[in-house]
Structure 1
Amino acid sequence: MDTTPEEAAQVVALLQQGLSQRAVAAQLHLSQSAVSRVYRRFQETGAFNRRPRTGRHRCTSERDDRFIVSTSLRNRHLTGVDVQQELRRVRQVAVSEWTVRRRLKEANLTPKRPASGPKLTAGHRQARLQFAREHLDWSIAQWRSVLFTDECRVCLHGSDRRGRVYRRPGERFAQCCFAETVAYGGGSCMMWAGISLEGKTALVFVPGGGRGGGLTADRYITDILLGHVVPYAEFVGEDFVLMHDNARCHTARVSRQFLREKELRTMDWPALSPDLNPIEHLWDELKRRVRARNPVPASVDELKTALLEEWDGIPQETVKKLIRSMRNRLQAVIRARGGNTKY
């Protein structure tokens, strides 16, 4: 029976106090042979750790190990089998995929679920980088006049894929460990909202925003711009700036013409940049609040009611923290040279 260094230290201490090996073994729930072996090892080495063992001979050399690690670092999406085959092709070394995984683990390379984000072209990266540099030195007073807006679709039986299940080997497809899905999420609704340092707008449900529907330019003007953005701009004053992304209903000719007529300034927002919009994190907070309700919504109407109640319940301090993180978001884009960030 192997003992830990702590157990070995207890064995030696008790024996030096005059206890017999049989008494020490009974007190520490060890065998008498284990106690004898620990004490003999202590007398020979003066240490509580086990002697180093030779172990099984490694089937890869140091050069093979470096090749395995460098191959994985050059392409992080390669599997253990891919690296194994590359090692066999280049260095004519045949090892198991488990050996490859152990060598990668020794280099602190373990498989994880990759972070995801929009596919960015060189033009997208350049635009994001330019936007970050231009707005990096903006003060809180300047961000105070910006209304961050966005649309979001919520499914009745949606999943954020964060759920886990505890199971034994061979129970992957057991019914108690199975996560059932519903076609098209069981129904959905699309909503729009805006946030700023001063407050947040009402949550607006887009008519026909469920399956097969969407937000058109006409609906965007009548239901959102006229009903919510224009009054909010009058509340903020002449420094008001509207932030909306490059969705078709936002960039349509009639939408741009309406904004010019109302003299509403818009922020030149880089495409494919959800990580720069703080309201995206508020959508996640809203969805978590709805999923945590007991009982959970059972119909689309109940889902809308829950969304409205939870939206009103989000404190303004949460919104302020998200908007105050704009400088950190911009710095992250600059460090990533316009690429995707953790936000």
Structure 2
Amino acid sequence: MVGCSQKSVAEILKKHRLTGTVRDLAIPGRLRVTTKRQDNLLVRKCKKDRFKTATQIKAEVLSEYSIKLSTSTVQRRSHKNWKTEEWARVVFSDESRFLLYTNDGRAYVRRMKGEEFSERCLQKTCKFGGGGIMVCGCFCWSGVGLLWKVSGNLKTNSYIDILENALIPSVDLHSLHSDWTFQQDNAPYHMSKGTKQWFGEQKIEVMNWPAQSPDLNPIENLWDHISLRIQEKSPSNHSELWNAILRLGIASTLTDSIL
């Protein structure tokens, strides 16, 4: 009747039963201590002198702008200088489409003269991959998060639905608490006003992702691994394709429709 998942209905009823309201509860954790403008200031200072330490930049900012920052805050605003423990607090995310049929490209065949169009020497193909399944997932230092099966085209509302029902439970699953950063690319529904508002309300820090840059998101390696393994299994329909995706090391799953 209301167009949301069964899980969402259950959570809202549970919240009302326990608190007497359906409003979002306050999320614990420290507020972000710098503004977007201050973040840009820190990045400019880092680029101006690559040999300055975070402690020196912190002192400059305090002296010139009377902004009190911790050394760790300065370090977190410059990803290039991050250490392992800082990257370990990042939750990487991405969407990927797995096709039912794939074509690896050029194929070679041994044939006799005049057999160019013989059926025995031709390889059948399927345009557009025969359809496929789009998924949205995330992972962090401690493991993978929940996998979401996407139906239709992603827009702001459907993306926020994924964040609420897959990202937040994934963060809870790995006990990241409030000290974590979310990574996403610059897809339109990622950068929309509604999505940014949601992140602000949830007090989630989102990593700045440069436009028109090489895709260095490590989750791409996971998608590539799954794609290669799916080709080995040769699924013949969408049901077999979805089951193959689930069996390839991703145990926790959610879907926007009842399975």
Q: TM-score range by the shorter chain?
A: 0.5 to 0.7
Which of 96, 99, 124 is matched with 1:155 structurally?
99
Quick one: distance in 1 between partners of 2:237 and 2:127?
14
Which of 290, 294, 299 is matched with 2:237 structurally?
299
Which deviations, in whole Å up to 9, do the C-alpha atoms of 1:127-182 show, x marking residues without a partner? xxx8xx94232111001011111001111112243x64342575554433433222
**Closer/same/farther in 2, CA of residues 291 and 177 from structure 1, 3 Å limit:** same
Q: Which structure has the larger Rg? A: 1
Q: Which has the higher strand share?
A: 2
Tell me which residue corresponds to 1:254.
Answer: 194
Which of 206, 209, 213 is matched with 1:266 structurally?
206
In structure 2, what residue type is equivalent to 1:167? R
Which of 162, 167, 174 is matched with 1:229 structurally?
167
**Closer/same/farther in 2, CA of residues 310 and 179 from structure 1, 3 Å limit:** same
In structure 1, what residue type is equivalent to 2:124? E
- Verify: 1:219 aligned to 2:154, yes or no: no
Shift of 1:265: 0.6
Quick one: distance in 2 between partners of 1:280 and 1:176?
37
Shift of 1:310: 1.2
Quick one: distance in 1 between partners of 2:202 and 2:209?
20
The count of corresponding residues between Structure 1 and Structure 2 is 173
What runs of 5+ residues in structure 1 fail to find an aligned partner? 1-129, 209-213, 314-343
| Cα contact 2:111–2:121 (8 A) shared by 1 | no
In structure 2, what residue type is equivalent to 1:278? P
Which of 99, 105, 108 is matched with 1:165 structurally?
108
Quick one: distance in 2 between partners of 1:292 and 1:273?
32
Quick one: distance in 1 between partners of 2:117 and 2:79?
51
In structure 2, what residue type is equivalent to 1:188? G
Give runs of aligned pairs for residues 50-89 of structure 1, distance below 5 A.
Answer: none
In structure 2, what residue type is equivalent to 1:240? W
Which of 176, 185, 192 is matched with 1:245 structurally?
185
**Closer/same/farther in 2, CA of residues 169 and 248 from structure 1, 3 Å limit:** farther
Which deviations, in whole Å up to 9, do the C-alpha atoms of 1:307-337 show, x marking residues without a partner? 1111428xxxxxxxxxxxxxxxxxxxxxxxx
Which deviations, in whole Å up to 9, do the C-alpha atoms of 1:91-120 show, x marking residues without a partner? xxxxxxxxxxxxxxxxxxxxxxxxxxxxxx
Shift of 1:249: 1.2
Shift of 1:274: 5.2
Normalising by structure 1, we get a TM-score of 0.47
Shift of 1:196: 1.1
Task: State the secondary structure of the residue aligned to 1:242.
Answer: strand
Tell me which residue corresponds to 1:76.
Answer: none
In structure 2, what residue type is equivalent to 1:262? Q
What runs of 5+ residues in structure 2 fail to find an aligned partner? 1-46, 51-77, 252-259
Quick one: distance in 1 between partners of 2:179 and 2:205?
8
Quick one: distance in 1 between partners of 2:207 and 2:112?
53
**Closer/same/farther in 2, CA of residues 253 and 182 from structure 1, 3 Å limit:** same
Q: Percent identity?
A: 34
Higher-RCO chain (CA-CA 8 Å, sequence separation at least 6): 2
- Verify: 1:205 aligned to 2:149, yes or no: yes
Structure 1 vs Structure 2 CA RMSD? 2.2
| Cα contact 1:149–1:194 (8 A) shared by 2 | yes
Quick one: distance in 2 between partners of 1:186 and 1:261?
41
Task: State the secondary structure of the residue aligned to 1:298.
Answer: coil
| Cα contact 1:274–1:280 (8 A) shared by 2 | no
| Cα contact 2:133–2:238 (8 A) shared by 1 | yes
Give runs of aligned pairs for residues 1-343 of structure 1, distance below 5 A.
Answer: 134-161=78-105, 164-168=107-111, 173-208=117-152, 214-222=153-161, 224-234=162-172, 235-273=175-213, 275-293=215-233, 296-312=234-250
Q: Which has the higher helix share?
A: 1
Quick one: distance in 2 between partners of 1:271 and 1:179?
39
**Closer/same/farther in 2, CA of residues 177 and 196 from structure 1, 3 Å limit:** farther
Runs of 4+ in 1 over 6 A off after TM superposition: none
